[in-house]
A and B are shown apart, each in its own frame.
Chain A
């Protein structure tokens, strides 16, 4: 195990722990007040209330998520209504207490699916609802389509990172197609961003920022043989790094489940070690704080990458996948099982990352106000980036930009079909009992939410 190296820059006089906690609370209250002021639209309040309702009713939640999941694969409104009917029927069977409401909803949907008149109408409403949910999270069907929204974000003081949604890559043709789409996105966005006005807070790093998925760049992701995926994905990722360097954009490599973690880590280390990328390229990778061995992964990155690079610290979005897979195979869970352990890990890694500036450029991606305030408290110089998710962190984004901080919003781009798995993941995250947002909407005491984990 690598010993954590001391920070290269001489640190300011370290604040005593109590002083740090006091700063965290002050910053946290400031952010929370900004969020509250950000102005919540009537529909948004309704939607959030709807999500809270879902979080309280697991059977209904499952039924609606499965509807969202299948919606793009249905052949039409009647077919969608039929799916709604049987999903609600199943939810009704699974959850007797909620049965009254579900029974009525299920009967309505079933008669709609079979009846001549109302079937298409119910299907249309369900379809619209799914579409409406999707557009909250997804900024456009393709990069050109997304440009006005991204320009608007920039106008309001937030930069963006674009993520191209798509179906899973199972063939070489699909890997090539995804790489081509990424390449075009880099060029389209770089062209568009040239005309945007100067923003001193944001202009310290490239304006255009694209997040790429390595599992979409190769159909050969094998957990037991990372070298096979590395060999297959290398040339596609190298091409994108070249384009990013040429157009002056930042390329960020996303992290997914454990099946690809070692592959992605090693691939990024390998490519960033190639001479052509040692200078003049802005690139980064993701660190997932919920992983028990996240510190070792950070050691590996710090040892392996010589030039400055960005680390986006996230909690991690595959918690259910990792815990279920581990349970089914009889493995120790690779992720922390308690939220508080993840939160502690997040803060420990935040400190380590900040201590490694300027070798590491730090991006803190969280909707947890405590985590953000903690990072800010440790970095009085504010030399870090804060990242939020489009559709979930909108109020937070406003609050943070109002404080004059560097904010980047993660913006998925893609069609409805491609967006479904992303959408379901976000919805699940937002209605999980550990959700900071949900705790807030339920009125959990702010001091409690800002307490040291």
Chain B
């Protein structure tokens, strides 16, 4: 699988490439608002009950959306279950070809898709484009992986018997997606389910239903049977009903820790008529730390930290939340960080060069502001220099130091542009702090001593450690992504073993002796 190549990012440093995107945005704006229906078995029910909007200009409606009802949930699970056997029977090659065609569909309108993510989720262009590319990557990668899985054959064979290991689809996959990677993450989980021959029901985040619709339409246009992929827009109640449905076999979830734990609890309960154990693939939150040793090159550290903490307003599960800095350089680093934060451009996502776009919704802004208030109340030094646009859900980026031990600002996931900086006496003290955290998603280390890099890499429990670089932006096939501990179920999206969570292994052993002869 080493021949997989990631979809090339747009070369935004070229002016004509940027002009294309601006044009795509104009074209999209002329179409908005979209209508996002419930899609079950290929049937659309379009009776809008809520809307999604541009976080930077909340007056702008992106989509009128139909929320799924409990009947829709039930119908969708049945449709997926009904479609799955035929879909699985087509074989991995045929399914892979369709996924690859879906990737082509997305590739053909990548500018439009990026524009949609800019509008619906406030993703700056570079991030939105990366989201589109990751979507394509997931489809192509899992297509290839599914073929490899079908040909996997690692059993010992002795004369007189034939042992076969086959990975069968588990049945129905419920995908519950997030809004922060509104295209790639739902598409990735859907693709994993489809590639392995499952029927899928997608419940996207209520903030990004239009992005989900674009993904679903690409799959259908490429030839995924309508009933094999169903779309259930809606709020938390729809997800809850879907997860609880006895016809669901696998739940693929990316989102908050609280919801993830709730899903795990629900999934453990065997409902009437349910004849299987549900499996949960959960990708949850983090409180990601970057360790900076005294020998680090601050010229590299400052931009990397700023991007990791404040890019897309800190709304990535991989974003940097705490910097644990060797005391010898802590003052210098903080001074330079402050100066760098002074430079950040807080503005609408569609503006090229924006550093900090709006956060997703008013409630998010209030939650993040609450953490900053706590920091003030606890007597910490808060550096939050920026001014924010009047309309839109903006939060100015903040660097905070001098927090008391155990502050909720250093303990809880904020999911916004807030970075806490702490001085440590040594790298080992920093490792101790990280090793004692309940989360273990991403981490960072800046050191120019290979021995330190080796020691810290072994000691940290995080799922993805980034050394001497920013800690976000995992690439499919290159940096399989996912966390441990309370950050997730330890699965790796975009990695060589991800599909195993969507299948059940079955072994067939056949006696090949007839009349005392091996035939």
Contacts and interface: CB of A to CB of B under 8 A. Distances in A.
Interface of A: 66, 69-70, 73-75, 79, 82-83, 85-87, 89-90, 167-168, 170-174, 219-220, 222-225, 227-228, 258-259, 262, 329-331, 421
Nearest to B299: A168
15 contacts: A70-B295, A70-B448, A73-B294, A73-B296, A170-B302, A170-B303, A170-B340, A174-B339, A219-B339, A219-B340, A223-B13, A225-B351, A258-B13, A259-B13, A330-B7
B343 A330 contact: no
B8 A89 contact: no
Given A75-B294, A330-B5, A331-B11, A170 B352 contact: no
Contacts of B7: 330
A171 B343 contact: yes
A335 B342 CA distance: 34
A453 B297 CA distance: 40
Contacts of B93: none
Interface in B200-222: none
A278 B294 CA distance: 49
B477 to A, nearest CB: 12
B451 interface: yes
Interface string B327-355: 01000000010111011010000011100
B340 A225 contact: no
B448 A89 contact: no
B449 A173 contact: no
B507 interface: no
Contacts of A89: 450-451
Interface of B: 5-9, 11-13, 15, 18, 125-126, 294-299, 302-303, 306, 328, 336, 338-340, 342-343, 345, 351-353, 448-452
Contacts of B336: 170-171, 174
A167 B298 contact: yes
Contacts of A227: 353
A302 to B, nearest CB: 19
Contact of B353 (A82, A171, A174, A225): A225
Given A73-B294, A258-B13, A330-B8, A90 B450 contact: yes
A434 B8 CA distance: 29
A240 B327 CA distance: 37
Contacts of B339: 170-174, 219
Contacts of A85: 451
B231 to A, nearest CB: 30
Contact of A69 (B12, B338, B448, B451): B448
Given A73-B294, A83-B295, A83-B448, 7 more contacts: A70-B295, A86-B452, A89-B451, A170-B336, A172-B339, A224-B18, A228-B353
A70 B449 contact: yes
A224 B15 CA distance: 8
A82 B451 CA distance: 9
Contacts of A70: 295, 297, 448-449
Contacts of B303: 168, 170
Given A66-B448, A89-B450, A222 B9 contact: no
Contacts of A220: 343, 345, 353
A224 B353 contact: yes
